[in-house]
Amino acid sequence: MKIIIRELEEKDYPALLSLLNNELGSSYTAVDDIALHYDRVKGDGRYKTFAALLNGETVGFISTVQFFTVGFDGNLIWIVQMAVKKEIQNNGVGTKLLQYIENYAREKGCDSIILNSGVRRIDAHAFYKRNGYNTDSNSWCFNKKLF
């Protein structure tokens, strides 16, 4: 199985829309929603989205942002979103995406990678642990909707 990882292209938007809605539970209604959001960040080198292709079909993606934080000398990569088409899961696509980002982070001089995963996504938690990601027992992820 040959998996190709490359930066997201406009032709990937329909597959990205499907992955966001079907695998991550988003509620985007049109490819234009993807274009609107992606166009805001694609010119900023800190934001990267990579597509995973299998036999020419976009079957997964990973979105990241590189950042610095006060009180920490290094810089970090945050995996903002990641999804693999359900029918393709457990065939190495997700691991390839993580490995790609890990190499990318090293090239950028990043010290670590962080990510959040929904509480109910037990299979995803096991996947991340199998790939060397650990939970931080000292913190919780919080969010607040502003509108």
* pLDDT score, position 3: 94
Instruction: Quote the DSSP letter at residue 77.
Output: E
* pLDDT score, position 147: 79
Q: What token pair was written down for 69?
A: 């934080």
> Rounded to an integer, what distance in angstroms lies between the CA atom of residue 64 and that of residue 60?
14
Q: Determine the residue type at 98.
A: L
* pLDDT score, position 104: 95
* pLDDT score, position 98: 96
69-113 per-position pLDDT tens digit: 777 667 889 999 999 999 999 999 999 999 999 999 999 988 889
Which is higher by pLDDT, 144 or 125?
Answer: 125
User: Residue 139 pLDDT more than 80?
Assistant: no
* pLDDT score, position 43: 84
Q: Determine the residue type at 23.
A: E
Round the average pLDDT of the chain to a whole number and report it.
Answer: 88
* pLDDT score, position 41: 84
Q: Which CATH architecture best describes the domain 3-130?
A: 3-Layer(aba) Sandwich (3.40)
> Rounded to an integer, what distance in angstroms lies between the CA atom of residue 31 and that of residue 10?
10
* pLDDT score, position 72: 67
Domain boundaries along the sequence of the chain: 3-130
22-35 per-position pLDDT tens digit: 998 888 888 888 88
Which is higher by pLDDT, 44 or 98?
Answer: 98
The whole-model pTM stands at: 0.88
